Amino acid sequence: MLKGVARSTIKAAAAAVDVVRREPQGITILIYHRVGAGTGGQMDLPVDVFDAQMRWLAATQRLLTLDQALDELTAGANGPGRAGLVVTFDDGTTDWVDHALPVLEAYEVPATFYVATRFVDEQVPLPGDGTPITWKGLAELATSPLVTIGSHTHTHALLDRLPAGQVADELDRSTELLGEHLGVTVDHFCYPKALPGSPAAEAAIRERFRSATLARTRTNHPGVDPYRLSRSPIQPADAMRWFRRKAHGGLRAEDDLRRAVNRARYRGLDA
Ligand SMILES: [Zn+2]
């Protein structure tokens, strides 16, 4: 309860900051994790909330695949660019195919799914009680023309502290497994916990992928570094009120605060 009050106070304060620091129009990338998994956490959206959000996005926003967004962000002159929106998911839980895909298909919303492959391959729970999706489930997801599959490392390793020699292994195991089981080539990467990688990790990612995403609640504009794309996390507490603002890159101040907390939390932790 108290946590909920603090959360909505922070959202309201962040919305007030938006009034004086308006985010320029651009491409917003949203982060989801789970839909209808029933874990009750802030990474797990109730199906009806997700359904309402996708219905609203399909009716009001210019929805893009990640590749379409990158084409726009890497071509032409630097500047604000057109407004657009990309939906993405992280980790790899079974609700992706059970709950998220039917909603995406109902409203024809394209989405990119970043998979941490070890959890699928070994069928071990993801952090926070996440039931891993199976290769069969992922294959069903991957056959949808709306779906792009990306890498989220093999073990969900934090790439700011991993020895350089292990970085290549994390990246290559994940893309090889995805290729082997799904027949896809993997062009897009997402940093676990949205923590930027070490310089060596970043170089390894630039060699292998077309893009990489961090967090940072804000819009992306032509001229952006495609290996440091900003994404806006969506929580159940956003409901529709704050969700609409985040779809336009709003609530940046909420994210600034969250990142300060995360930096403190993950500092010095082992992967
Ligand atoms: Zn993750």
pLDDT in tens, 83-123: 999 999 999 999 999 999 999 999 999 999 999 999 999 99
Q: What CA–CA distance (Å, rounded) separates 83 from 27?
A: 5
**Cα 191 to middle of ligand 1, angstroms:** 8
Query: At which residue do the structure tokens 């108290």 appear?
Result: 2
**Cα 152 to middle of ligand 1, angstroms:** 7
Q: Which string of b and e fits 110-144 if b means at least 16 CB within 10 Å?
A: bbbbbbbbbbbbeeeebebebbbbbbebbeebbee
**Cα 247 to middle of ligand 1, angstroms:** 21
What confidence category does residue 270 fall into, taking pLDDT thresholds of 50, 70 and 90? very low
Domain extents for the chain? 2-266
Q: What CA–CA distance (Å, rounded) separates 58 from 51?
A: 11
pLDDT digit string (tens) for 201-228? 999 999 999 999 987 778 899 999 999 9
**Cα 232 to middle of ligand 1, angstroms:** 14
| 119, two tokens | 């959890």
Q: Is the pLDDT of residue 173 over 70?
A: yes
**Cα 266 to middle of ligand 1, angstroms:** 14
Percent of the chain with pLDDT over 70: 83
The closest of 144, 126, 151 to 210, measured between CA atoms, is 151
Q: Is the pTM of this model over 0.85?
A: yes
Average pLDDT, the chain: 88
**Cα 164 to middle of ligand 1, angstroms:** 20
The closest of 14, 31, 32 to 23, measured between CA atoms, is 14
What confidence category does residue 271 fall into, taking pLDDT thresholds of 50, 70 and 90? very low
pLDDT of residue 13: 64
**Cα 78 to middle of ligand 1, angstroms:** 30
**Cα 99 to middle of ligand 1, angstroms:** 19
Report the alpha-carbon angle 200-203-205, nearest 5.
110
pLDDT of residue 75: 86
Q: Distance from CA of residue 32 to its chain's centroid?
A: 6
Pick the more confident residue, 139 or 165: 139
Q: Is the pLDDT of residue 188 over 80?
A: yes
Is 186:209 a contact under the CB 8 Å cutoff?
yes
pLDDT digit string (tens) for 44-61? 999 999 999 999 999 999
**Cα 28 to middle of ligand 1, angstroms:** 19
**Cα 190 to middle of ligand 1, angstroms:** 8
Task: Give ion ligand 1 contacts, CB < 5 A.
Answer: 90-91, 192
Q: Is the pLDDT of residue 22 over 60?
A: yes
The closest of 155, 179, 160, 172 to 92, measured between CA atoms, is 155
The closest of 110, 112, 114, 18 to 62, measured between CA atoms, is 110
The closest of 262, 212, 185, 239 to 42, measured between CA atoms, is 239
**Cα 90 to middle of ligand 1, angstroms:** 5
**Cα 33 to middle of ligand 1, angstroms:** 8
2-266: CATH number: 3.20.20.370
**Cα 59 to middle of ligand 1, angstroms:** 29
Q: Is the pLDDT of residue 244 over 80?
A: yes
Q: Which string of b and e fits 195-219 if b means at least 16 CB within 10 Å?
A: bebbeebbebbeebbbbbbbbbbbb
**Cα 108 to middle of ligand 1, angstroms:** 25
**Cα 76 to middle of ligand 1, angstroms:** 32
pLDDT of residue 222: 92
**Cα 4 to middle of ligand 1, angstroms:** 23
